[in-house]
Structure 1
Amino acid sequence: MITPAQSHWLTHCKKPAKMLTGLDAWVDGLAGRVKRWRQGLDELRLDAERIEGRSSEWRALTDADLRERLRGFRSRFRREPDPDNELVLEALGAIREAAERQTGMRPYVVQLMGALALHRGFLTEMATGEGKTLTASLAAILAGWTRRPCHIVTVNDYLVQRDAEWFGPLYRFCGASVGYVTGPMAPADRQKGYAADVTYTTSKELLADFLRDRLLLGEQVNASRRLIRQLARPRAPLPPGLVQRGLHTAIVDEADSILIDEAVTPLIISVSRENEILRDAVSMAHRLAGRLENGRHYTVNARYREVELTDDGQRFVDEECHGLPGFWRSRERREELLRQALSARELFRPGKEYLVVDGKIMIVDEFTGRVMPNRTWREGMHQAIEAKEGLAVSTPSETVARMSFQRFFRCFYRMSGMTGTAREAAAEFWQIYRLPVISIPTNRPCVREQWPERAFAGEDAKWAAIVAEIERLHRTGRPLLVGTRSVAASEHLAGLLRERGLSHRVLNAARHQEEAQIIAEAGETAKITIATNMAGRGTDIRLGDGVARLGGLHVIATERHESGRVDRQLFGRAGRQGDPGSAQVFFSLEDELVGRFTSRAVLRRVRNLAQAGAPGWEKAAGGLVAMAQRSAMKLAFRQRRGVLRTDTWLDDALSFTGVE
């Protein structure tokens, strides 16, 4: 039996404030900087050192006595959800001692600073390898003690389950329950995961379950209306299948990836609707698209991922579709069908945007490098790709709910986050999420070496140089992590290494079954690991015996990403916690980033310099890649602004109709 209070919190969440514009936004940005200055590092360090100063007191306690003190803190936090600073510092000291006893890891002073910053609502920038996962658990226990829903949001299912299991003993010792929610889980298991004091999950699962619950509730989504109904009919149950217990606190790991990079696209819930006419039309469009020529009948804009028919293409389509029924009578509809079919052929590539698994199209998440089961592209694009691959065309889907990640995360009453790369986006974090960024110093100086990047005119020369470098470093015994941007690129490199007789392991969306074992062995002597972004954020590669003396892990990036922050996350797998390590980038003028985000005239000029072997052409190529990254990040920012404008429009429309 659910209580009225539980029913109220089930759907009650903070209403996002409208975004500021113009002079208001500028003044608000100043306010964000002032907040960062006011809550400086000196205050955080002072409080963390006060916790450190009482460490002997906690060490003197037996496990039973420490557990009893922790239970006392839990009771006080449930009575006082917003405790004073003295209580927080005392409780953190006890949790720190419990962490060492239960996990073997004693939080450093800088990790205590990070935990305090999270508790106080900051976005905490901590360098890669500084123990953000442990830091988050300290702050999460404080939030979990209140019994208000607390979610730790991370980037993929592997980290969700790993972190919940790693720190399960710590949570239970402190009197807090912990659960997790991953993509393959059934509704009953999801409900159990969300019922815990602290729940680990991904942003996609969290938002998808939030929308599905609201769809199940229907008219009962309004908390006041639901309470009146419960008072009138006390025994009337809530709709079956609800999994969440509400939103209150979110601690976002890898916040720049979740709140910035992945916020370009809203999350959409759809249901299948039988539409035989559309399925036939998609198949017909695929056949017609096969007769069109690139450059003559249509043009491709790689930067904006758009296909447009030329005048010749429009005449060809008009002639071929004359007399066809249904969709084909409308010029706008038939041209849209053709554009989708051409986009599927030109812009969506197997091994990059998707995989074909057991006769089905499986979307690959470009940010995590992982397959997203049960996800489809909308508006007929998924069916167009199925037709392209010669698969049975599935039933089209219809949108029933939509929400952007920007809007969703502004629904939490308390939010904080952490990442190793936040400073560049500090203004956006404050403007959209009201999160001030604060940088926490490292526990030990980072000694990772950044080797000079290497430029090549063509991809073949680049791959040959990468293989030669892998072979050279492999002979020294150093472990190597080679990062690629796609499944196809990782498989291509694996083939080249097999030809040279070099033993290696591959981690990508098509080969993920042994992920934990591959990561566990990646830091051992002479290991070669090829990985997509699956081995990027949150992956902790620990060095084997004697590896530090050899120079530590070496990371090779086989091309630049669209965001420099993603490159730095890959480099951050090496040189963690003061260990030695190094990283280097290889790129070519034929890489996707360069071709998509630079002008043809400039690219042609740099290529001519490269082919002529002109002095300094490598520096010019490096500048070209940097310019392409800036262009890519500007485009992504404009897309996020577009999503925010849609949110604003929906707010105005729904407020006019009276719909929540």
Structure 2
Amino acid sequence: MFNALAKTIFGSSNDRYVKSLKKTVDQIAAFEPTISAMSDEELANQTVKFRARLADGANLDDLLPEAFATVREAAKRTLGQRHYDVQMIGGIVLHRGEIAEMRTGEGKTLVATLATYLNALEGKGVHVVTVNDYLAARDCEWMGRVYRFLGMTTGTIVPNLSEEERRAAYNADITYATNNELGFDYLRDNMKYEREQMVQRPFNYAIVDEVDSILIDEARTPLIISGPTDDKSEMYMAVDVLVKQLVEEDYEKDEKQRSIVLTEDGTERVERMLEDAGLLQGSNLYDFENTQVVHHVNQALRAVFMFRRDIDYIVKDEKVIIIDEFTGRMMDGRRWSDGLHQAVEAKEGVNIEPENQTLASITFQNYFRMYPKISGMTGTASTEAAEFYDIYKMNVVTIPTNLPIQRQDDEDLFYKSLEDKFKGIAKTIAEHAAKGQPVLVGTVSIEKSEMLSEFLKQEKVPHSVLNARFHEQEAHIVAQAGRLGRVTIATNMAGRGTDIQLGGNLDFRINDELSGMAEGPEKDAAIERIRAEIAAERQAVLDAGGLFVLGTERHESRRIDNQLRGRSGRQGDPGLSRFYLSLDDDLLRIFGPDTLFARMMRSSLEDGEALPPSKWMSKAIETAQKKVEQRNYDIRKQVVEYDDVMNDQRKVIYEQRSEIMDSETVNDVVTDMRHETINAIVGEHCPPGTYPEQWNVAALKEELERVTGLKPMIDAWLHEDHVDPEIFVERIVAQSDEALAEKIGDLKPETWTQIEKSILLQNLDHHWKEHLSTLDALRQVVHLRAYAQKTPINEYKQEAFALFQRMLDSVREDVTNTISHVQFQMDAAPPPLPDLPSFLTSHVDPFTGEDDTNDRDFGSDGLISTTIPRLATARPAADGAANPYADETISRNAPCPCGSGEKYKHCHGALA
């Protein structure tokens, strides 16, 4: 009570902070008369002046008022848009490394130009991160007019760019890209063998658009680059057949935790079935020999009984495609890990693709925390403010709207059953559409959107369905969702980034209706006609009450509900929003109030009747959502905790790789590794403080010959007066130095350096890949340590550290072994460093459902042989030549059959 009273008198801390920024806005306004009077040439020259001031010792804060005023004037001249004062506040917040929460329609894209331009003056590069390729390309072209007018360069990172094009885009002053492209480029860069091959430059500053989606929703799944492993499709199919025979009594399912386990009776039944199928060794499912079988059974249980078609995934073109739970869009190319995707493929009877082994991975949390400064903008961030500060150390600042909000947010309506609810929704939509009010309907799954579509057909209501099946039409459908009487069914956040303008979107209508018309007076007249039609239709929509946003059920996250609500009431427009719920909704069924609430509703409601709106009921729903949000936060926090352990190790490996690539010579590193390996071998077989008769001399000689190729006279040394392991080490080291010096004596120094770098990097990558696989396996089982009253994360840290030490020892030994046994061609030129191994990227952009970074990139196999190979490259077809593979069905991302090592689409496929 006292807090509310204090807030009424003094304002909230957010209000006071925003008010304090108005002094800076006044300073910006003071520059406006001067800057408005400048010619275009003088205005463009401001960038040169700002950079000169930075070189003389000024900082970005000193330049902010004048720089922001410059951008405001440039936007007026290039875009015909002038930044509002509240947008200036948003720009200041972004520059300070905070999150600007701005309502839908308040012009976040334009706000970003302020902080982007100011920070790009340093010449270190600014990344503007968007949620899909369409927005990255659109915003770079659209806002790029401002930057280019002011003499800055821009670049866009989208799929299918060449390495040179990516490098040029990253070297631009301002780079627009999706979060996935940035992350995968970082991982790919750290798999390359020469600094010149890398495309990114050091991190500087990033502005993340729709920051809640990228840093919260997508943060539960890391970016993974993986390579194929052995095919186990027969095992998946065999286990799937057995699991489908189980009944409810054989397993226990927890929908809240999304877990499923066999009961005691179920375990016995599965054991008997596996025995009969010849898949079980012994008679106990949980014997060590059956570890793989248990894994397959667990994944088949989840696939068959937990994952639902048309909700969690769809089957399209004989492929299982994941549906993103936040956007309802197809994530073509994204695959569940750890064999789950293969289990779902077996369940649906489609072709089972082989599992993949992780070659490199990183979470978005750890990727974006590498930027010295990061900021973000979104319409909904305050509900996750604690997480943003906890994980990223970013404060959320709510920016006031330019015009007061006139949208009316009604209390939720409750129905007894799903059918009653959809009947009520269909009638409501029909009523509002009949009076000309546009309706945007938000659903949580494809299944629900198609079900509602059937109800609307019964009511004879014309409508558009926008979901994962039709995402290609998304921007066009959403852009016109504000037209008179238009009914649009959208899955969750579909169309985010495209404004819904009442009366229709002028640009989209021009593009759709006049794209084939030549420029001239006729087209100009047609544009004016469309503009007049939109103005008249807008007034009719305003008279009908503005956009009506109708939610068919509450999402697990209040933030997603707020995003849907925020579609209505942009820039002071009137609007209406309301959510419809039933006891069959997942949120109420799994996380909702107790059975007393359910019994009360069932007993007091007639079929088809809605419970009167109640603040108490809405509060109960909000409580349920908070429970889920906290649980999801805990999951994300756990992902970060575990990835932090790997991240420390990742930094060490990537820094080591960078040092190797940048060094003129790595001879000292290789020599130290050889000496340490010899010391370790001698120490293992001749432990300090022991007597010579306790030493395992035979094993020592055998191990030295295997690793170093040497046959030292250890038997003779044992008869000397002073026998000591340290003397052994000194003599063997000296002998190995002599042997290597003799071997490389005739080689050119640059050739030997290239060989050493190649061996070092390939060994490092091979062992890092194996280490990642081991950590994956450890993470899956370490939670069992809790039964022994141990903290799993602490156990994981200890085990991971020990495994990392072991990995470094293995790298040293293998490098020594390879260099000791490698054979050289004395007249050979320095061998080329190998290409990247074959890999597959996963975690495609859920906002597009498409991502061509999900390519198989074929190069060398990445393995070290005893002779450093020369990599032959086949000659691509000559320009204008016919494609000899035109009649064959070849994936565009597959390697070209000609053997060039290029993808088909970049080689013979490009000729078609």
TMscore range, shorter length: 0.7 to 0.9
1:129 aligns with 2:118: no
- Cα pair distance change 1:457/1:189, threshold 3 Å: farther
- C-alpha distance in structure 2 between counterparts of 1:599 and 1:42, whole Å: 41
- Cα pair distance change 1:367/1:190, threshold 3 Å: farther
Q: Which residue of 1 aligns with 2:236?
A: 282
The DSSP-based 3-state class of the residue aligned with 1:393 is coil
CA shift for structure 1 position 98: 0.5
TM-score normalised by length of structure 1: 0.85
Q: Which residue of 1 aligns with 2:67?
A: 91
- C-alpha distance in structure 1 between counterparts of 2:322 and 2:86, whole Å: 39
Q: Which residue of 1 aligns with 2:588?
A: 594
Retained in 2: the 8 A contact 1:70–1:95?
A: no
- C-alpha distance in structure 2 between counterparts of 1:80 and 1:326, whole Å: 75
CA shift for structure 1 position 321: 1.0
1:195-229, Cα deviation, whole Å (9 max, x unpaired): 33222222222212211221224xxxxxxxxxxxx
The AA in structure 1 aligned to 2:241 is: R
Which of 220, 231, 234 is matched with 1:264 structurally?
220
1:542-599, Cα deviation, whole Å (9 max, x unpaired): 1112222321111111111111011011100110111111111111111112222247
CA shift for structure 1 position 397: 0.9
Q: Which residue of 1 aligns with 2:246?
A: 292
- C-alpha distance in structure 1 between counterparts of 2:14 and 2:491, whole Å: 38
CA shift for structure 1 position 331: 4.3
The AA in structure 1 aligned to 2:87 is: Q
1:633 aligns with 2:609: no
- Cα pair distance change 1:99/1:506, threshold 3 Å: same
CA shift for structure 1 position 492: 2.0
Retained in 2: the 8 A contact 1:181–1:190?
A: yes
CA shift for structure 1 position 512: 1.7
Equivalent residue runs for 1:176-195 within 5 Å: 176-183=152-159, 189-195=165-171
Unaligned 5+ segments in structure 1 are: 1-35, 218-236
Q: Which residue of 1 aligns with 2:501?
A: 542
Q: Which residue of 2 aligns with 1:425?
A: 384
Q: Which residue of 2 aligns with 1:463?
A: 422
- C-alpha distance in structure 1 between counterparts of 2:493 and 2:14, whole Å: 36
The AA in structure 2 aligned to 1:571 is: R
Q: Which residue of 2 aligns with 1:316?
A: 269
1:453-490, Cα deviation, whole Å (9 max, x unpaired): 11111111111111111100001111111111112222
Which of 130, 139, 144 is matched with 2:115 structurally?
139
- Cα pair distance change 1:393/1:141, threshold 3 Å: same
- Cα pair distance change 1:169/1:301, threshold 3 Å: same
The DSSP-based 3-state class of the residue aligned with 1:540 is coil
Q: Which residue of 2 aligns with 1:361?
A: 320
Q: Which residue of 1 aligns with 2:570?
A: 576
- Cα pair distance change 1:283/1:149, threshold 3 Å: farther
TM-score normalised by length of structure 2: 0.62
1:204 aligns with 2:180: yes
1:350 aligns with 2:309: yes
Identity of aligned residues (%): 39
CA shift for structure 1 position 501: 2.5
Q: Which residue of 2 aligns with 1:229?
A: none
Retained in 2: the 8 A contact 1:536–1:570?
A: no
Retained in 1: the 8 A contact 2:493–2:563?
A: no
The AA in structure 2 aligned to 1:148 is: K
The DSSP-based 3-state class of the residue aligned with 1:530 is strand
CA shift for structure 1 position 307: 1.1
The AA in structure 2 aligned to 1:564 is: R
1:449 aligns with 2:449: no
Retained in 2: the 8 A contact 1:54–1:93?
A: yes
The AA in structure 2 aligned to 1:121 is: G
- C-alpha distance in structure 2 between counterparts of 1:482 and 1:617, whole Å: 21
Q: Which residue of 1 aligns with 2:483?
A: 524
- C-alpha distance in structure 1 between counterparts of 2:67 and 2:602, whole Å: 65
Retained in 2: the 8 A contact 1:307–1:342?
A: yes
Q: Which residue of 1 aligns with 2:859?
A: none
1:268-296, Cα deviation, whole Å (9 max, x unpaired): 222222x23x21111111111110112x1
Larger radius of gyration: 2
- C-alpha distance in structure 2 between counterparts of 1:359 and 1:191, whole Å: 37
- Cα pair distance change 1:431/1:197, threshold 3 Å: same
CA shift for structure 1 position 610: 4.8
- C-alpha distance in structure 2 between counterparts of 1:139 and 1:128, whole Å: 19
The AA in structure 2 aligned to 1:72 is: K
Retained in 2: the 8 A contact 1:555–1:570?
A: yes
CA shift for structure 1 position 445: 0.9
The DSSP-based 3-state class of the residue aligned with 2:191 is helix
The DSSP-based 3-state class of the residue aligned with 1:645 is helix
- Cα pair distance change 1:485/1:641, threshold 3 Å: same
- Cα pair distance change 1:374/1:284, threshold 3 Å: same
Q: Which residue of 1 aligns with 2:492?
A: 533
The AA in structure 1 aligned to 2:638 is: G
- C-alpha distance in structure 2 between counterparts of 1:550 and 1:611, whole Å: 32
- Cα pair distance change 1:453/1:182, threshold 3 Å: farther
The AA in structure 1 aligned to 2:101 is: E
The DSSP-based 3-state class of the residue aligned with 2:59 is coil
The DSSP-based 3-state class of the residue aligned with 2:543 is helix
Retained in 2: the 8 A contact 1:447–1:581?
A: yes
- C-alpha distance in structure 2 between counterparts of 1:648 and 1:593, whole Å: 32
Root-mean-square deviation over aligned CA pairs: 2.7
- C-alpha distance in structure 1 between counterparts of 2:110 and 2:352, whole Å: 46
CA shift for structure 1 position 615: 11
